[in-house]
Structure 1
Amino acid sequence: MRLEDLDVFRAVHETGSFQRAALRCGLSQSAVTKVVRKLEDEFGVQLIERGAGALALTPAGRTLYLRAMELSALTTATRRDMAGEVAAMRGAIRLGVVPALLASVAAPVLADMLPGPHSVQLLVSVKHSAELVRMLEEGKLDLAVCFGVQYLPPDVVRTRIGPQCYRLVARAGHPLASGAPNLEQLSKSRWLLPTSDVTLRTEIERMFAEAGFRELDVRVETDTSATLLIPLLRRSDLLTVLPEQAFQPLAGEGLAALDIDLHALTGEVTVYHRRKTPSVGLLMELKHRLETQARNNSLSGRPSQHSAKESI
């Protein structure tokens, strides 16, 4: 029995056809049939009932299918763990960071570490929080410094650092920028928001729904940081929500923070790593420095009423 044989067997059941399984696996239909027969001969039991209708697993076939799923997950996890070990041995650290924390947290720490005695290669990915956590789960990153996420994979550990503040932002000169808009006015505006699978979007819509307002008019959705769409924000009447760290460098550059309390939204800066992250000294040193830098930023930041539960 080979792992490849089990992959073929799974494909037959999941596609419901030897022909479709062959297309998925890049094999001929006869080769797929031979693999299934080989497994049945090896275990001495029929695994798949072949009738005029759809294929069906026998009780023994169901047991093998479940074991094949477990072995596939274990194989994937092993490959991820070994990729992390190889990267660590080569002195490479794979770090993920959201755009809002790149300048305030990641850059100062990395600048301090580069002149040190360690021979380190830094691989930096800048994406939104949910994508960074997915990359951690897949073993493509060692550490990520970002915001809270809606779904935390079982293989990923988080360390909460401190509160995250947010601003409701529009272009300077926006009709709502000159006063203190209420939720009713905001509910009638056009928005630039993350896609619906991002928690920040969910929390914003929930805030308006609980206040009794209709669904927001979301004209632009993005699967990346809204900071990358600032040129669009400056040229339109769209509203968006930005982390305080992302807004501050842009304040006065064609953008304005609206005077409104977002007390219904709260959040945290968070450092994530996989449970199986190699415990090499350099990696743990970077983790500690990132946590310290983020915590110091949080403690020294000025109080703000603007905050959000999870972030892009």
Structure 2
Amino acid sequence: MTLTQLEVFARVAELRGFTLAATRLHISQSAVSHAIKALEQEMGVELIHRHQAAIELTDIGAQLLLRAREILGLAETMRQEAADARGMKRGTLRIGSFGPSSSMRLLPRILERYRQRYPNIEIRIDEGTDQEVVSWLQERRVDVGFVVLPEDKLDTFTLCEDQMVAILPANHALATAPSVSLEALCREPFIMTEAGSGPLLERLFSSQKRVPNVLHRSAQLISTLAMVEMGYGVSILAEQALPERPLRQAGSYVTKPLDPPVKRSVGLAVLNEGHASPATKAFIEIATGLQQG
């Protein structure tokens, strides 16, 4: 077994295809097929079911994928520790990011400073929901990720705190109120976000023994705001996730603090701080330094 074979296996599993993996790795498709076949022969098990349109991991393939990513992560850490002794001139950093809160508000400033200090580190960014980022960290698909805190299964570093706010159509009866209670929102048609703040909202309503009148569910922030603007209902979102100005489609929306206030903390997480690579530790140091400065 070689690191190259494990890298090919991990890429095929991640991209769900031999052709995409070959393109990403800059090798031929036949080389990808050969690497997978050789790895399966050495392991004595089938790792991948091959279909015409796509591939699917076998049960043992999914299990060994976690081990492969662990080995590849340790190998990359070794390379970076050696590079660190030379001034960290090379390496790879894989970042998991979710929504506007991290991808638009936090990540750009951090990357700007990081690029200035470490211009030759290759950066890969995967975007999904905060729960997907947690899964990617546990699967070792990313080295560091933005998450909603607390997150007990990971080593975390707080970056910022913002508040959850009610989102109302501009002409709504509550639009002139100084703040809005959950009780009042539960009397209105509610648009439940299934993006980053979804689990937080479910816990919030449950803790206060409230049941929202959910008529719409949306996995996308823009769709949620558009439905509020068109008067389909009200919602609750994180303030930092909102665009700097309303979408102004059918009308507009207003934001109101919740009563009582509800805070949300966002931070960075790694699977194990002690095993983090130098590139990962440098990213965390820069990110936390910017927030403290």
Query: What is aligned with 1:130?
Result: 131
Query: What is aligned with 1:206?
Result: 206
CA drift at 1:193: 1.8
Query: What is aligned with 1:95?
Result: 95
| Residues 213-224 of structure 1 aligned to structure 2 (within 5 Å) | 213=210, 215-222=211-218, 224=219
Change (3 A) 1:293 1:241: farther
Query: What is aligned with 1:233?
Result: 228
Q: Which has the higher strand share?
A: 2
Change (3 A) 1:226 1:270: same
Q: Would you say the 8 A contact 1:136–1:273 is kept in 2?
A: yes
**Count of aligned pairs between the two proteins:** 228
Query: What is aligned with 1:188?
Result: 187
Identity over aligned pairs, percent? 12
* Structure 2 unpaired stretches of 5+: 1-41, 48-55, 80-89
CA drift at 1:158: 1.7
Change (3 A) 1:235 1:115: same
* Structure 1 unpaired stretches of 5+: 8-23, 27-67, 297-312
Matches of 1:287 and 1:230, distance apart in 2: 32
Query: What is aligned with 1:56?
Result: none
CA drift at 1:257: 0.9
Change (3 A) 1:291 1:25: closer
CA drift at 1:25: 9.2
* Pairing partner for 1:280 from 277, 280, 290: 277
3-state DSSP class of the match of 1:144?
A: strand
| Residues 133-148 of structure 1 aligned to structure 2 (within 5 Å) | 133-148=134-149
Matches of 1:192 and 1:294, distance apart in 2: 32
Query: What is aligned with 2:16?
Result: none
| Residues 36-55 of structure 1 aligned to structure 2 (within 5 Å) | none
Change (3 A) 1:133 1:227: farther
The residue type paired with residue 133 of structure 1 is V
User: TM-score, normalised to structure 2's length?
Assistant: 0.63
Matches of 2:238 and 2:69, distance apart in 1: 32
CA drift at 1:226: 2.8
* Pairing partner for 1:256 from 251, 254, 257: 254
Change (3 A) 1:259 1:133: closer
**What is the aligned-residue RMSD (CA, Å)?**
3.7
Matches of 1:152 and 1:181, distance apart in 2: 31
* Pairing partner for 2:239 from 230, 236, 244: 244
The farther-off stretch of 107-116 and 181-190 is: 181-190
Q: Would you say the 8 A contact 1:81–1:276 is kept in 2?
A: no
The residue type paired with residue 281 of structure 2 is M
Matches of 1:177 and 1:244, distance apart in 2: 16
The residue type paired with residue 160 of structure 1 is T
Matches of 2:273 and 2:67, distance apart in 1: 10
Matches of 1:199 and 1:295, distance apart in 2: 28
User: TM-score, normalised to structure 1's length?
Assistant: 0.60
3-state DSSP class of the match of 1:114?
A: helix
CA drift at 1:199: 2.6
Matches of 1:293 and 1:245, distance apart in 2: 17
CA drift at 1:108: 0.6
Matches of 1:239 and 1:5, distance apart in 2: 53
3-state DSSP class of the match of 1:236?
A: coil
Query: What is aligned with 1:114?
Result: 115
Q: Would you say the 8 A contact 1:170–1:233 is kept in 2?
A: yes
Q: Would you say the 8 A contact 2:155–2:273 is kept in 1?
A: no
